[in-house]
Structure 1
């Protein structure tokens, strides 16, 4: 019997259910063209693939033993800031304005993406029931003209809490 880890279920829920909510309808400004779990630099992304979001999960996660061979991510069940870390790297792109842009078009696009990611991730803080103890945004940063001109990057770092029991084949 193959067991799918809670960690994998969370990542797939974000990729397949949470981020597709960003579709330029309702509360969302943008519509995502690509959602990936494989890192790519902006210079390797085609224009038609923007806006582009990458789910990153290669961060350190601490665990605490609870009882009866159960564990929680982080130091305590109640501290939502010390869970499994998930990064969302989002790239946006604007058309060449043809002149010096003093209005902050790229910054505005980054801020739209920031807002959309925040709304989508908080739409279902239990992430389909896999994050039973909650989720928190720990930090965010925007970068303009990061690697290629007229391209912006938005990075969010989330802490996602969950409990698991390896003795019950739940990891």
Structure 2
């Protein structure tokens, strides 16, 4: 039987269990209507699919040897900020164009989505037992699509976990 890479299992857990917590109840501002591991550009998301979140694991990731057979994410096994980088890209849209550059309406919505993502990702710091630690690394916002009333957020997390390729665990 083929091995499922740990990062695939983790990404699916975030998609199927963690981000669906963002449902507009309790501490959450939004109800995510589109959660995917397949990236879409903001202009490709239909109006009914906002707010949306996309889970990305592309980009370079370092590994540190633990033993002759085991590896840990990141280049320092004890540093939880140096793990496998998981990025969540989120989109929000405001209905009333207004004058977002003066009122901050779109920026406020972006900040709320960042808050929702951070709260959800900290609801289970082991992501179903798949990681040793989840650490918030940074956030970013973009008003690049403000003329379409769309705000873009990006939240980076470090995922700390170990693998043993000789046991079929990657």
**1:129: which partner in 2?**
129
Q: Tell me, in whole angstroms, the C-alpha distance in 2 between the residues paired with 1:103 and 1:96.
A: 12
Tell me whether 1:5 sits opposite 2:1 in the alignment: no
Contact in 2 for aligned 1:14/1:127 (Cα 8 Å) = yes
CA distance in 2, matches of 1:148, 1:83: 36
Deviation at 1:103, TM superposition (A): 2.4
Residue of structure 2 in register with 1:64 after alignment: 64
Give 1:142 shift.
1.0
Q: Point out where structure 1 has 5 or more consecutive residues left out of the alignment.
A: none
Q: CA shift at 1:96, angstroms?
A: 2.3
What TM-score do you get using the length of structure 2 for normalisation?
0.94
Query: What do residues 62-116 of structure 1 show as CA deviations (whole Å, max 9, x unaligned)?
Result: 001111401101122210111111111000000124x434321111110110100
Distance 1:23 1:29 in 2: 8
Tell me, which stretches of 5 or more residues in structure 2 are unaligned? none
Alignment of structure 1 residues 88-127 onto 2, 5 Å: 88-97=88-97, 99-101=98-100, 102-127=102-127
Determine the structure 1 residue equivalent to 2:165.
Answer: 166
> Secondary structure, in 3 states, of the residue corresponding to 2:87?
strand
CA RMSD of aligned residues (A): 1.3
1:118 is paired with a residue whose SS is helix
Secondary structure, aligned partner of 1:81: coil
How many pairs were matched up?
Answer: 169
Match of 1:74 in 2: 74
Aligned residue for 1:40?
40
Distance 1:145 1:66 in 2: 43
Residues 156, 36 of structure 1: alpha-carbon distance in 2 compared, 3 angstrom cutoff: same
Taking the aligned partners of 2:69 and 2:23, their CA distance within structure 1 comes to 42
> Is residue 43–residue 148 contact of structure 1 (8 Å, CA) maintained in 2?
no
SS at match of 1:114: helix
Post-superposition offset of 1:2: 2.2
